[in-house]
Chains A and B, each alone.
Chain A
Amino acid sequence: MEIPYTATVRPDTGVYNAKLGIWLFLASEVMLFGALFSSYVLLRVGAPSWPHGYEFLNIPLATVNTVILISSSVTMVMAWASLMMKNFTRFRVYLGLTILLALAFLVVKGFEYGAKFEHHLYPSESTFLAIYFTLTGLHGLHVVGGIIVNLYLWGPGSVMWKRDPARFTNRIEIAGLYWHFVDLVWIFLFPVLYLL
């Protein structure tokens, strides 16, 4: 049986099914990260003193990571735009770049974590480090998830382009919506943890 409304718009919702699906998923993600941000606020205002992130976090590295993640959002949307212009070759270049940038983000994050552990700064060290590792760790897992999905769409999943280009283009838009959300979370994490 064919899955309905993968490429065509469902008349009553006005969107193809996967788009509604991903937005509902992202809404649940907003609540997941929202709960942790809310916890951060409660922990911070309830603490007798709160360290400045810049005292022991590496701001230059985090700034580089911000630039990397924003760039990967641009290459992701360009991958989708390339498919809209029926340019599969360019699509693969842009999605490939998105994956490489995401990997670069994780490598930088790995160096940051490594430097913390070297100085024996573990989540158990302080409330600040506990929420820092929780938030950046959960975000990092989202980056890993995005890499896995994008690798599939770049490699084996891309055969769909020949069979059903409209559906494949929508898949890339959906993967993109998820990826931009991961970028969006980092846009808040960066100032909250590192700069304030």
Chain B
Amino acid sequence: MEHAGTEEVKKHVRVYVTVFVALMALTVVTVAISTLHLEVHTAIIVALVIASVKASLVAAYFMHLISEKKLIYAALTLTVVLFIALMALPVSHYVDRGL
């Protein structure tokens, strides 16, 4: 990314516009689905899947993670593991109580 030429940057710009359109479309979709008032478990899964897709698009293209260096991936892999551990904490609360 550091040595990208003008032509290559122009290609990037086209990708940014495409990603922007996709993010807008997904925003509309997630709001539209919420008006259906689905059953709460389904609604949570659908909303989180859409949010994850949007977040991945931002991370991959705007934050250039699609072509980043190994060290950055290593740091982020550790972050993901620790993040999952954080999210699992509320679950462990139930394990503790034997539910």
Contacts and interface: CB of A to CB of B under 8 A. Distances in A.
Nearest to B50: A191
Contacts of B40: 196
B71 A34 contact: no
Interface in A113-137: none
Contacts of B55: 184, 187-188
Contact of B90 (A45, A170, A194): A45
A14 to B, nearest CB: 4
Contacts of A15: 68-69, 71-72
A25 to B, nearest CB: 11
Interface residues on A, range: 35 or more
Contacts of A176: 62-63
A84 B6 contact: yes
Interface in A143-196: 170, 176-177, 180-181, 183-184, 187-188, 190-192, 194-196
Interface string B13-26: 10011011001100
Contacts of B79: 27, 30-31
Interface residues on B, range: 35 or more
Interface in A51-107: 54, 59, 63, 66-67, 70-71, 73-74, 76-78, 81, 84-86
B73 to A, nearest CB: 10
Given A59-B31, A73-B62, A191-B30, 20 more contacts: A14-B69, A24-B75, A31-B86, A41-B87, A42-B90, A66-B27, A70-B23, A70-B27, A78-B16, A81-B12, A84-B9, A85-B10, A180-B58, A180-B59, A184-B58, A187-B51, A187-B58, A190-B51, A191-B50, A192-B51
Interface of B: 2, 4, 6, 9-10, 12-13, 16-17, 19-20, 23-24, 27, 30-31, 34, 40, 43-44, 47-48, 50-51, 54-55, 58-59, 62-63, 68-72, 75-76, 78-79, 82-83, 86-87, 89-90, 93
